[in-house]
A and B are shown apart, each in its own frame.
Chain A
Amino acid sequence: MTAVDAPQTTRFNELRLNGISRAYGAHTALHPLDLTVRGGEFIALLGPSGCGKTTALNSIAGLLPLTAGSIELDGRRIDTLPPEKRGFGMVFQNYALFPHLSVRRNVAFGLRMRKVSKAETARRVDAVLDLVRLTDHAHKLPGQLSGGQQQRVAIARAIVLEPPLVLMDEPLSNLDAALRLDMRAEIRRIHQEFGLTTLYVTHDQEEALSLADRLVVLNAGHVAQIGTAPELYESPRSAYVAAFMGYRNILSLRAESVGADVATVVGEGFRLAGAVSGPVTSGSAVQVAIRPDDLKIAADGADVAFEAVAEIVEYHGREFQVDALTGAGTRVHLRTPERVAPGDRLSLTVDPRRALVFPDGGAA
């Protein structure tokens, strides 16, 4: 890559969020959040809209005062500082580019505020514009740029200051699908080149999994789980997290017998073995999470977990995406390479290690 002049990021060892929370009157938007971010890490805050992830980001940036808790950067308390004194870079969802300033002046704005010399400013702005491949558009106003270009200006503007931490608030949500993939790679590349510590807010699990070293899954202002991408993907701690990690089938069943690792769960038309993934007791209500890829059409003579009738079949090239309905009216999703037609009766099975059994409502 052409990062000859790539500025060295101001490094830090750890950013510690101690029980930060934020309430609007009686409504608590963010329940106490504890998180330690190591320098250079890429962390994604993941959750549906209204789960408190943007609130968390704004609180860290200093745009919202904390209701409780503290933020420490290498032991120095920073949550009492106004945003302009924190020195974190932020990329806004709507980019918030200054419409009356050219791309170059937008990017130079932060350096100008810090009274960096003209020559130094020019050098650093050139380097960053080169990095985001916008050198040819430097003289344009933001209004003359495409969405993806505006987005890159917003990133350039945030990183030219070499901030210890970059906060990104759903930066890709305003882009179309193809551009989103390109920009995702771009953000990953910039992160690697600069070694920027990044806190990234998104509602898109694929985006979070592909970009982040660690993920924080939020649910209604509570932390549902914190872990690396493989940790969350392989062993979600609750049905809520599982649903976010692509376990599209969340079945409400009952545990018939519970062993050390494997539980037998039953329900209307269902009987299957699953991996115990939480405090489950015999006879209690459970939620079973299964990925569409892990529901298989049973070979003759194999154990059948349940039967369902294919309702909608979508052709996805290498495989079929099937929505099927069980006799009791439960909808299940599966992906299969076998040709299936709507109306076909399917006998389905699942590997016990691939069906996660969670206590019902527990930690959801």
Chain B
Amino acid sequence: MTAVTLADAPKLALRHRLAERGIDRTLLLILPGVIAIAALFCYPFVYGLGLSFQPAKGGVFGAYSAFFSDSFSEGTIWKTFGLAIPASLINVGLSVPISYRMRKDFRGKRLLLTLLVVPITLGTVLTAEGILEYFGPVGWFNQTLQKLGLISAGHPVTLINDYWGVLFSLIISGFPFAFLLTHSYLSGIHPALEKAASTLGAGWWQRFRFITFPLLLPGLLTTFCLTFVLGFSVFPSAIMVGDPDGRTHVISIEAYEQALQNFNYPQGCADAMIMTALMLAVIGLVMGVRRFFYAGSTGGKG
């Protein structure tokens, strides 16, 4: 140990004060990340935002008023919500009972986990191909229904090139994320809590309703936000298995067509900004709701 002389004192104190505020050399580790975000996200975003205020006609807000005055383009908002909200609710809703059961050990748990998570590795295009084949007019799905006599030959159920195909696609690609997140949130809740509840007379439903669910809820809201964002920005599957000129003409298709088919960049940028604002609004709302719930430690010790 070296003696601290009077001359050293102020210098040490400054370094100490900085360290107290979390400023030291390890802070440099976040530099690459900051550069990447600035170059690949902040700059394009600000550039696009600026571009959206420079339409060929209509003044500064021309592109925005053009979007909202055209009922077809404005309608993309509700079409997108119509896909993203149900898909996220279904993904989160399915994740809860499955991950609840997956907490216990059972034979084949690993295999089931793998099967549930594998769709992450499938690209959207592959998933779309599969949906097209399986749910198509002569796909296995319609053939099975026919064999069972539920539908008559020549009148297949229309699922592809429609709303349902895109919804399926969003569930297939979004569920693994929702499941993995829910699974990890759930395993963060100490199992002794449910045991304690059961010794206090709570049956399985009461244990879930009063203990596990309230502790899981903040995590579920976060999970909802994630799958919502995935669903709201749906693009390839809306084109491949959907009805891109009608029922699944979602906001990202609208932006794409404006920018790269009509070569109206300001309009495309404005559409993208509206899309971003809507997503942020939903996330803000959900996170606002989340604040009302207990979101602290769930490690059992309280």
Contacts and interface: CB of A to CB of B under 8 A. Distances in A.
B211 A96 contact: no
Given A87-B201, A109-B210, A114-B201, A96 B298 contact: no
A143 B297 contact: yes
B201 A84 contact: yes
Interface string A132-147: 0000000001110100
14 contacts: A83-B198, A84-B201, A89-B199, A97-B300, A98-B196, A99-B300, A99-B302, A100-B293, A100-B294, A109-B202, A113-B200, A113-B202, A113-B206, A150-B302
Interface in B193-229: 193, 195-203, 206, 210-211, 214-215
B71 to A, nearest CB: 46
The residue in B201, B214, B302 that gathers the most chain A C-beta atoms within 10 A of its C-beta is: B302
Contacts of B190: 94, 96
A59 B95 CA distance: 32
Given A99-B215, A100-B214, A143-B297, A109 B302 contact: no
3 closest Cβ contacts across the A-B interface?
A: A142-B302, A100-B294, A110-B200
B302 A95 contact: yes
Contact of A96 (B193, B214, B215, B297): B193
A205 B40 CA distance: 65
The residue in B193, B198, B201, B299 that gathers the most chain A C-beta atoms within 10 A of its C-beta is: B201
B10 interface: no
Interface in B268-301: 293-294, 296-301
B192 interface: yes
Interface in A114-160: 114, 141-143, 145, 150, 157-158
B199 A113 contact: no
A95 B9 CA distance: 47
Contacts, number: 95
Interface of B: 190, 192-193, 195-203, 206, 210-211, 214-215, 293-294, 296-302
Contact of A145 (B296, B299, B302): B302
A113 B201 contact: yes
A181 interface: no
B195 A84 contact: no
Interface string A79-102: 000111011111010111111100
Contacts of B201: 84, 87, 110, 113-114, 161
Contacts of B202: 84, 109, 113
Contacts of A84: 198-203
A110 B210 CA distance: 11
Given A84-B201, A87-B201, A110-B201, A97 B211 contact: no
A168 B193 CA distance: 15
Interface of A: 61-63, 82-84, 86-90, 92, 94-100, 109-110, 113-114, 141-143, 145, 150, 157-158, 161, 167
Nearest to A107: B200
Contacts of B197: 98, 109, 113
A45 B195 CA distance: 21
Nearest to A150: B302
A143 B298 CA distance: 10
Contacts of A86: 199
A162 to B, nearest CB: 12
Contacts of B302: 95, 97-99, 141-143, 145, 150
Contacts of A96: 190, 192-193, 195-196, 300
A98 B193 contact: yes
Given A92-B192, A94-B300, A99 B294 contact: yes
Nearest to A86: B199
Given A63-B199, A82-B203, 7 more contacts: A89-B199, A92-B196, A97-B300, A99-B215, A99-B296, A145-B302, A150-B301
A184 B169 CA distance: 60
Contacts of A145: 302
A142 B197 CA distance: 15
The residue in A62, A84, A99 that gathers the most chain B C-beta atoms within 10 A of its C-beta is: A99
B207 to A, nearest CB: 8
Contacts of B294: 99-100, 141
Nearest to A169: B192
Contacts of A61: 199
Contacts of A114: 201
A358 B165 CA distance: 80
A179 to B, nearest CB: 15
Nearest to B196: A96
Given A141-B302, A143-B302, A98 B199 contact: no
A63 B206 CA distance: 17
